Amino acid sequence: MQIIKLGGSVITDKKRYCRFRKQVVGKIAGELKRAADAGEKFVIVHGAGSFGHIKAREYQLNLGRNPKIGDQHLGFARVHLDVRTLNLKIMECLNKHGISAVSLPPLSIALNSAGKLKVLDVGAFERALSNSLVPVTFGDVVFDEKLGFSICSGDDLTLKLGAHFLPERVIFVCDVPGVYADFPPKKHTAILKEISPSDISNLSKANPEFDVTGGIFGKIQKCFTFLEERKTTEIWVISGRNFDNFRNALIGKDIQGTKVVIK
Ligand code: IP8
């Protein structure tokens, strides 16, 4: 079994509010179908991209409920509507490609505590899988037992599901071919074949990336923590633009990208 996290920067244009990349998602869905036909099982998680981050930032939803921000509750509802709209577009694409995908929105099945994912109804995913369905979830706004509400990132969902299912591989599909050896990358900066905790401190210092849920380095740091307790799962960061490579990654063969390791 594998958990595939489709990054928001792959499935949307992150700079333009609610811009979906239909062709890219169509190609990804085609590869997923091919792998499913070959017997691979998946859980799919996707990010929010420009359907979530732009307005979540505007209303400071990552910091929790704040009555001083006028209409914040309307912003919360708007972001939820937008990420569901994105999710429906993805579901439509998966279904069209013959994938029996079903959507499990985090607002209904997850609870945060102080901005961290505390509870996730993994039973819903188990039941979907045991009925030969492909569960799909996504970065969303959720209720928070300390902050009223906050944001649940697709990365946190991915790793929570990973901790439960212990999949063979977790694949983070991004808009870059992996993690660059230098940040910000220059024209000829190489992609790291592996990234371990000793690499990260230098890289993250210069990280200008904006993302209400932590960006690439937040993601990698959480992966290290995940791997400390779980040795059997491989974690990869690969490109969502190279479909041949995506196909190989789904079958675990000749993967080009960065493997997250703790050594
Ligand atoms: O794109 C963020 O999820 P991510 C969810 O997976 C929202 O980090 C609502 C911004």
188 CA to middle of ligand 1, Å?
Answer: 30
79 lines ligand 1 (CB under 6 A): yes
What's the pLDDT score for residue 205?
A: 58
142 lines ligand 1 (CB under 6 A): no
Summarised one tens digit per residue, pLDDT across range 134-181 is 999 999 999 999 999 999 999 999 999 999 999 999 999 999 999 988
Ligand 1 closest atom vs CA 139: 3
| Bridge partners of residue 117, in order along the sequence | 112
What's the pLDDT score for residue 188?
A: 86
110 lines ligand 1 (CB under 6 A): no
Answer whether 44's CB lies under 8 Å from 10's CB: no
Which domains does the chain carry? Answer: 2-260 (3.40.1160.10)
- Percentages helix, strand, coil for the chain, rounded to the nearest 5? 45, 20, 35
Ligand 1 pocket, mutate which of 62, 78, 83, 173 (most atoms under 8 A from CB): 83
**3-class DSSP state of 158:** helix
What's the pLDDT score for residue 50?
A: 97
- Residue 139, both tokens: 């970065």
Peptide bond into 184 cis (omega under 30): yes
- What is the spatial distance between Cα 79 and Cα 196, in angstroms, rounded to a whole number? 34
- What is the spatial distance between Cα 231 and Cα 246, in angstroms, rounded to a whole number? 23
What's the pLDDT score for residue 169?
A: 97
Q: What is the pTM of this model?
A: 0.95
154 CA to middle of ligand 1, Å?
Answer: 6
- What is the spatial distance between Cα 75 and Cα 255, in angstroms, rounded to a whole number? 40
What's the pLDDT score for residue 199?
A: 84
The angle subtended at Cα 106 by Cα 100 and Cα 108, nearest 5°, is 100
Whole-angstrom CA distances from 230 to 14, 46, 92 are 32, 23, 34
The pLDDT profile of the chain, 263 residues, written as one tens digit per residue, is 999 999 999 999 999 999 999 999 999 999 999 999 999 999 999 999 999 999 999 999 999 999 999 999 999 999 999 999 999 999 999 999 999 999 999 999 999 999 999 999 999 999 999 999 999 999 999 999 999 999 999 999 999 999 999 999 999 999 999 998 887 788 888 999 999 998 877 666 555 554 566 678 888 999 999 999 998 999 999 999 999 999 999 999 999 999 999 98
